């Protein structure tokens, strides 16, 4: 996951200048959250979510990291920078299990699943392994492995 990469890469000699995640689930407990914030201080970390993505609400016993950027759904509705979640309902990090279950069932058809629709108006096809190949047939993962270590990393949850 991108948050864990942002945590680990600097200790392995890589430079992380900015991180964007899309549909990131909760990644750690409150101890990890504090340690993460200390280790990544000064690195802009944006956690982009859609209210119709069931995976951003789980697992419920863990917490989120990063600055929350929330979309009600499609990007045409605009986003909210969640500095005060109480002000904007779309910024909530909790949802009743019954609603998460309904959203999860919708994911049986990817075209109806918010988790697969990030950047949908800017790309062709759903987010899947098939959409991650370039004109040369190289996967994004193999291209990233060949990138120089000094470059900044913008990560995305698959």
The model's pTM is 0.70
**Is residue 86 in some structural domain?**
yes
**Is residue 26 in some structural domain?**
yes
Q: Is the pLDDT of residue 105 over 70?
A: yes
Q: What is the DSSP track for the chain?
A: -HHHHHHHGGGGT-----EEEES----B-HHHHHHHHHHTTTS-EEEEEETT-GGGG--TTSB--SEEEEESSSGGG-EEE-SSTTT-GGG-S---HHHHHHHHHHTTSGGG-GGG-TTGGGSSS-SSGGGGB-TTS-BHHHHHHTS-TTS-------
**Is residue 116 in some structural domain?**
yes
**Is residue 129 in some structural domain?**
no
Q: Is the pLDDT of residue 133 over 90?
A: no
CATH number of the CATH domain containing 85: 3.40.50.1820
**Is residue 3 in some structural domain?**
yes
Number of domains composing the chain: 1
pLDDT digits (tens, 9 = 90+) for 59-76: 888 888 999 999 887 777
| Residue 36: domain span | 1-11+18-120
Q: Is the pLDDT of residue 134 over 70?
A: no
**Is residue 100 in some structural domain?**
yes
């Amino acid at each position: 996951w991108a948050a864990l990469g942002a945590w680990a890469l600097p200790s392995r000699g890589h430079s992380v200048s900015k991180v964007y995640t899309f549909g990131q689930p909760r990644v750690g407990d409150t101890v990890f959250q504090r340690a993460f914030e200390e280790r990544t201080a000064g690195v802009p970390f944006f956690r982009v979510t859609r209210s119709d993505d069931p995976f951003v609400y789980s697992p419920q016993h863990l917490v989120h990291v990063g600055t929350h950027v929330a979309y009600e759904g499609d990007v045409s509705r605009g986003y909210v920078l969640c500095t005060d979640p109480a002000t904007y309902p779309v910024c909530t990090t909790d949802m009743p299990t019954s609603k998460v279950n309904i959203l999860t069932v919708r994911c049986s058809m990817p075209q109806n699943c918010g988790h697969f629709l990030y950047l949908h108006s800017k790309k062709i096809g759903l987010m899947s392994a098939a959409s991650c190949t370039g004109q040369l047939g190289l996967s994004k993962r193999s291209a990233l492995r060949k990138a120089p270590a000094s470059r900044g990393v913008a990560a995305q949850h698959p």
